[in-house]
Amino acid sequence: MSAAVDFLARLCGRAAPALPPAARAIAAADRGGAGSYPDPGPDRLVAECLAWLERAQDASSSADGGVARHYSAISGWAPSYPETTGYIVPTLLACAERTGRQDLVDRARRMLDWLVAIQFPEGAFQGGVIGAAPRLPVVFNTGQILLGLAAGACNLGGYRDALHRAADWLVAVQDADGCWRRHASPFALAGEKTYDTHVAWGLIEAERILSGRGYGEAALANIRWALTRQQANGWFADCCLTDPRRPLTHTLGYALRGVIEGYRFSGEAGLLAAARRTADGLIAALRPDGWLPGRLDARWRAAADWVCLTGSSQVAHCWLQLYQITGATRYRDAAQRANGWVRRTVLLDGPAEQRGGVKGSFPFDGGYGRFEFLNWAVKFTIDANLFEQQLETGQGITSGQL
């Protein structure tokens, strides 16, 4: 089996490994529903998830300062994942600002120093975990690491050269219509990707620090291209790693976040209207208890009987942004329901590698990140809960933080 096929099989749950008792027990408990676990509330949830991210950095099997891609109930801790380590940095810095913990700043700096050390000379970053083959420059991963470099340049000083080179490379390899077609990930299916609006967000953050170099214009060009693939009901075509007909809420969340950030940057009313169409479609798929199906078809109907927890947290964050922008309470209410549902899936007792981890799927044997606790699921869950808290207390939060 090729590395790319093996990666996709694991990520999307097609592998059928022999399960140790612990994995079987978690999956069986999950089948009882999210109510199997109590809601710890945002404070406890954020604290436990943050502690899990710290353990994931320390326990990475590549021991390099990056964050382990996941903890598998079958195979243990994975190597560091450059892409997600990049956008974990802003989350750690936001938590450091909230708590005054210098150790979180130090951890973020270690992550950034490692990322700078593995940057390609032309400015790009690789796809996949460290050590994966083939080692190639990839647009999407570079855009996600750009978010961390921008946060480092803004909050820590330094990292501006790495930021500049990464952003320049993204602009240089972009097609005239705003789409990125070259340098796609070897670990996803080939083809155009509308969720690259999340790459555009990375360029927006670069523009805020290194203005006047065309980064903002390039970002908006990509977002406008993506909107040519948006249906009237808000659903995005070409918006999945593996199945564009039934995109993951994870990749829909990426696409939606990019459009929202495009609006926040430009003030273009059309981008806000487009974001609301997608957000409203996602609300239509949300159950009253906060359960959001992990895949959705073009009519916003459930296309999976499991939840992609990463996607639920990402979408909840987007709904909270739209509540902040528009004042429409349906977005706040939907986000609170989704956040509460995800909180009730997180284990707060037991082995350290599981405690505070967020599963790829709920139940644990669902079709995304099967039997794995994913570092990016934890990151987005922290972000969504912090944002919910800060909106409730009247405190603002900037995209440069989360």
pTM: 0.94
Instruction: Give the model's pLDDT for residue 28.
Output: 86
> At 35, is the pLDDT very low, low, confident or very high (cuts 50, 70, 90)?
low
What is the model's pLDDT at position 6? 44
At 203 the pLDDT is 98
pLDDT digits (tens, 9 = 90+) for 41-72: 999 999 999 999 999 999 999 999 999 999 99
Where along the chain do its domains lie? Answer: 42-81+189-392
Q: Which residue has the higher pLDDT, 55 or 10?
A: 55
- For the residues 386-390, what does the mean pLDDT come to? 97
| Confidence (pLDDT) at 18 | 73
pLDDT, tens digit, 9 for 90 and up, residues 63-100 = 999 999 999 999 999 999 999 999 999 999 999 999 99
Average pLDDT over the chain, rounded to whole? 93
Question: Spelled out in words, what is the top-level CATH class assigned to the domain 42-81+189-392?
Answer: mainly alpha
Give the model's pLDDT for residue 4: 42
The answer, yes or no, to whether residue 174 has pLDDT greater than 60, is yes
Q: Residue 399: pLDDT band by 50, 70, 90 thresholds?
A: very low
SS (H, E, C) the chain: CCHHHHHHHHHCCCCCCCCCHHHHHHHHHHCCCHHHCCCCHHHHHHHHHHHHHHHHHHHCCCCCCCCECEEECCCEECCECHHHHHHHHHHHHHHHHHHCCHHHHHHHHHHHHHHHHHCCCCCCCECCCCCCCCCCECHHHHHHHHHHHHHHHHHCCCCHHHHHHHHHHHHHCCCCCCCCCCCCCCCCCCCCCHHHHHHHHHHHHHHHHCCCCCHHHHHHHHHHHHHCCECCCCCECCCCCCCCCCCEHHHHHHHHHHHHHHHHHHCCHHHHHHHHHHHHHHHHHCCCCCCCCCEECCCCCECCCCEEHHHHHHHHHHHHHHHHHHCCHHHHHHHHHHHHHHHCCCCCCCCCCCCCCCECEECCCCCCCCCEEEHHHHHHHHHHHHHHHHHHCCCCCCCCCC
Question: Residue 195: what pLDDT?
Answer: 98
